[in-house]
């Protein structure tokens, strides 16, 4: 896919209304709501519904899940009203596309991962999110992979994740030119979202577009 004129921004692992407001005001295009109990950023449905209802126009809400049960996905859709689903496990395209809501598919990248083949396995996804492979974690590790691997000539919009932070995201966007970037732990301090880091991250991404 051709490089976008402006790289979009998703702040993942949002857990409060205040942090969602900071992200939106800083220029984030989307927030990620975590529905994976082992994650420290996991939300109950009622918590997520309050955050979702507080979002201003044109900020997309994304439900992030790992190998969920179908009824759990349906409950999220019905009770929270998210705009997009994001799957980080071993889900199939048939499963991911079976809920009537657009979806992103995350692929955890190792050096020998055949990204072109993996992308083709998800023909109905709206985009492919590349994250760093860590054997015991599904995202949120704060570790980065070799960004050169992201330039595999994929046909879907590319979302770059894994180890991004305010200090390196400008370089990442310049080198990869992804459709979007996704950050969670890179804008945290002591495990909590840091308003200053969120603003700095968004500012760095926006500076790439303004310098073109």
Domains of the chain and any CATH numbers: 8-210 (3.20.20.70)
pTM (2 d.p.):
0.94
Give the pLDDT of residue 136.
58
User: Nearest Cα to 168, choosing from 141, 187, 154, 193?
Assistant: 187
SS3 letters for 100-114? CCCEEEEEEECCCCC
pLDDT of 140:
54
Q: Does 12 qualify as catalytic in the annotation?
A: yes
pLDDT value, residue 3: 74
Give residue 138's pLDDT.
Answer: 52
Could you say which DSSP state residue 147 is in?
G
Q: Give the pair of three-digit tokens for residue 77.
A: 């859709």
Q: Return the SS3 of 112.
A: coil
* Confidence at residue 132, expressed as pLDDT on a 0 to 100 scale: 83
Mean pLDDT per block of 10 residues along the chain (212 residues) reads 85 97 98 95 97 98 97 98 96 98 93 87 97 63 78 92 95 95 96 97 91 68
CA distance 16 to 21: 9
Q: What is the pLDDT of residue 151?
A: 86
pLDDT on residue 209: 77
Of 29, 125, 131, 202, which one is the catalytic site residue?
131
- CA 37, 195, 204, 25 dihedral sign is positive
CA distances from 105 to 1, 62, 127, 157 (A): 16, 12, 7, 11
Based on the residue annotation, tell me whether 136 is a catalytic residue of this protein.
no
Q: Do 208 and 174 contact (CB within 8 A), yes or no?
A: yes
């Amino acid at each position: 896919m051709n490089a976008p004129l402006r790289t979009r921004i998703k702040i993942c692992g949002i857990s409060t209304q205040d942090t969602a407001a900071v992200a939106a005001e800083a220029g984030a295009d989307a927030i990620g709501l975590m529905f994976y109990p082992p994650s420290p950023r996991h939300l109950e449905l009622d918590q997520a519904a309050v955050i979702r209802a507080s979002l201003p126009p044109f900020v997309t809400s994304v439900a992030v899940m790992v190998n969920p049960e179908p009824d759990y996905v349906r409950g999220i859709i019905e009770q929270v009203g998210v705009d997009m689903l994001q799957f980080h496990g071993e889900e199939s395209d048939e499963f991911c596309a079976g809920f009537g809501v657009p979806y992103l598919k995350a692929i955890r990248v190792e050096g020998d991962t055949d990204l072109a083949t993996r992308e083709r396995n998800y023909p109905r996804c709206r985009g492919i999110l590349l994250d760093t492979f860590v054997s015991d974690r599904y995202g949120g590790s704060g570790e980065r992979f070799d960004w050169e691997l992201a330039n595999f000539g994929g046909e879907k919009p590319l979302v770059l994740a894994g180890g991004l932070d305010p200090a390196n995201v400008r370089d990442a966007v310049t080198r990869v030119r992804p459709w979007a970037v996704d950050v969670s732990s890179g804008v945290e301090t002591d495990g909590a979202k840091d308003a200053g880091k969120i603003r700095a991250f968004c500012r760095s991404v926006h500076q790439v577009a303004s310098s073109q």
